[in-house]
Amino acid sequence: MTDATTKKKSTSVVERQDLSDQVEKEIADSRTVRRWIVCSFLVALVIGLPIWYKTTEIYRAPLPHQDITSWSNPNALDTVFTIHVELIAHAFKLEPFVADETSDSLNEMFQQTAYIANTTRVNLQFTTSISALPKSNLKTLQDLVNNDDLDGETGVYSLHITCGGIRDTVHIGQRRSIFLEVPPPICKQQDKLTDVVIRVIAGVFSGEQKALQKVFAAKTMLNEDHDSMRVVKFADEFQLVLSLFNGNPADLLVSWDIDQAVNAYLKGFLSRLAKVSTFTVSSQIQHYAGLPITPKPQTDDKGTWFAIETESLKHFINSAEWNLGGHHGAFVHSSAGLLPYKRFTLIASFVSSSPPLNFVLYVPEASVIPLHILRPNGHKLETNAFLIPQWGGITITNPPNNTTTTTINKILKFTRDDLKPFLEIVVAQMRGLVGVSSVVIADQVLPPDTVITYATAPLYGITLFELDRLVRKRTLQCASDAISTLKSLLTLVTDMGNMVVKDEIKILVEGSLSALKEVKEGIKHNHVDASMSAARRATVLAEEAFFNPTMVSLLYFPTEHRYAVYMPLFVPVAVPFLAVIIKDFRVWMEARRAFKAKKD
């Protein structure tokens, strides 16, 4: 009994030992399998993470940071425009020292006023020469003015000097000529003549240097003058919309020969402005263009009329009903002229990426005719038109009493000649909108008794003096805008790491920087027109890069949003995975310590 019990107990111990060994083996096998599983996950992570990172990587083409930063320096665009003046004496001879003293004095004078602290430095530098002309019968001031037909080059001007009269007379030509008539005694004393010449040239260009300095000084000044607030921001192309608005077609039906009028009275002006910006001209006729304000009746010795006070002009545009985006006939300006490209029988709206300039010819309804704009002093405004800064202008026209009558209503057709006053007002308003400044000699520069007259350009609406001023100013403005846009682009790309920067953006930026270098080179070699073209290209390319739609494709998915997407997917998987790794690591450490203790 005892032996059997002992044998049974020994068998039981062996079985338990075998069972324990079997359990330990199964546990070891399960640990091995689990470790292989963990390792497979780790291998998948090691291989998958680089693939995931590469496939989700945001491509960012390297931009020329250093070049853009160098242009951000205020001194990078320091500019010296060279003005060459040819001194031409008629019926007498100029001594060589006149030219030397004139240029030296002018450069010293303009150099002193060129510096403004912490801004880009801009000044005019003068060179003068004495030119000999072949014998001519043109000896008087009036003869020379009447034969002012030489255009010359941008930056090259002529000062014609004649002897006659009892006092100094200055006439600024419509091209690039200045005419000076001095009394005969002054002609014989050429040191005094030199002083007069210096005063005349300084008076013509001193205002321009101040205007050029304002291009950069305005960025540090809070208060700008009214002229700069009126001017539209530069655009390489503008959409010029000419609109004929009819207050009530039940009273009157209107039409116009706008295509002929534009070719006759607007073509020359736009052709000269093509150096600065191109213009696409379109037109429209809109009926039922009611006024949002009620004119007030007035009575004078001529009868009853209706007035709109100047305080009410800001409410003149009826934005709710007036369609300023439609067109009836469209005309495109090109080097060959103004060419009609399409005509619509119905008014249709169109979309253009170019900023619009709107000019409206408004025909009021019969119940408020005649309609006039009332000055603050109580008098009628002669032009019956007003300018809206950075938008366009409005001209009110009252129909004549002799409009053609039919059995239904009256018909009024504006012919080419009828539209001349309207388009002359359009030209005057456009001068203010695009920044054309008149050449005016400062009163304090010349003696008080000096007679000063200024030529106009009736065929073009802008003299070459004024055009040159505009070209030089717009060149600096475009270059400055391009630099500012590139700097903003660089800041944006640097601050937003998830912004896509494709190779086309890099090409646009490099093209803009190259154009900026051309601007500097053109000004340095007195190729102002080439500089203007390069400055326009620099601005266009910089804005194309900044507003490129490819750059905002991932801005709608910032880093925080991606974390919000990934966490619900991967955190539930990652937590048990990390727990298993930590547990197995602890078991491995304990087994290692036990093995070392057993070995010792």
pLDDT digits (tens, 9 = 90+) for 89-111: 887 888 889 999 999 999 998 88
Note whether 290 and 393 are same-domain residues. yes
Average pLDDT rounded to a whole number, residues 380-398 = 92
Q: Tell me the C-alpha distance between 497 and 474, whole Å.
A: 35
Least confident of 51-55, 93-97, 135-139, 342-346: 342-346
Question: Does residue 9 surpass a pLDDT of 60?
Answer: no
For position 511, what pLDDT does the model report?
96
Q: CA geometry: angle at 73 spanning 72 and 79, to 5°? A: 105
Question: Same domain for 240 and 361?
Answer: yes
* Cβ–Cβ < 8 Å for 155, 147: no
From 71-75, 193-197, 236-240, 513-517, the region with the lowest mean pLDDT: 71-75
Shared domain for 2 and 115, answered yes or no, is no
316 assigned to some structural domain: yes
User: Would residue 568 count as lying in a domain?
Assistant: no
Q: What is the structure's pLDDT at 140? A: 56
Last residue of a domain, one of 422, 447, 470: 470
The mean pLDDT value for 324-336 works out to 38
Residue 476 counted as domain residue = no
Are 206 and 281 found together in one domain?
Answer: no
Q: What is the CA radius of gyration of the chain?
A: 40
Is the predicted pLDDT of residue 349 greater than 50, yes or no? no
In this structure, the answer to whether residues 350 and 420 fall within a common structural domain is yes
- Side chain identity at residue 378, one-letter code: G
Average pLDDT over residues 298-323: 81
Q: Which residue, among 431, 528, 537, 525, has the nearest Cα to 478 in the 3D structure?
A: 537
344 and 376 both lie in a single domain? yes
Higher-pLDDT residue of 201 and 31 is 201
CA distance 12 to 35: 34
Measure Cα distances from 467 to 30, 61, 155, 247, 269 in Å. Answer: 90, 40, 11, 38, 10
Give the whole-number percent of the chain exceeding pLDDT 90.
35
Q: What's the domain count of the chain?
A: 3
User: Which pLDDT score is estimated for 248?
Assistant: 86
Instruction: Tell me what pLDDT residue 345 has.
Output: 30
Residues 27-59 pLDDT 10s: 666 777 777 877 887 788 788 888 877 777 778
Kindly state whether residue 447 falls inside one of the protein's structural domains. yes
215 and 304 together in one domain: no
In a domain, 518, yes or no: no
Claim to verify: residue 47 and residue 94 sit in the same structural domain: no
Residues 383 and 330 in one domain: yes
Tell which residue, 455, 439, 437, 441, has the closest CA to residue 196.
441
Per-residue pLDDT, 38: 76
Is 553 in contact with 493 (CB distance < 8 Å)?
no
Predicted confidence band at 348 (pLDDT cuts at 50, 70, 90)?
very low
Average pLDDT score over residue span 512-522: 95
User: Which range marks the domain in which residue 311 is found?
Assistant: 236-434
Token pair in block for residue 528? 């102002």
| Cα separation of the two ends of the chain | 44
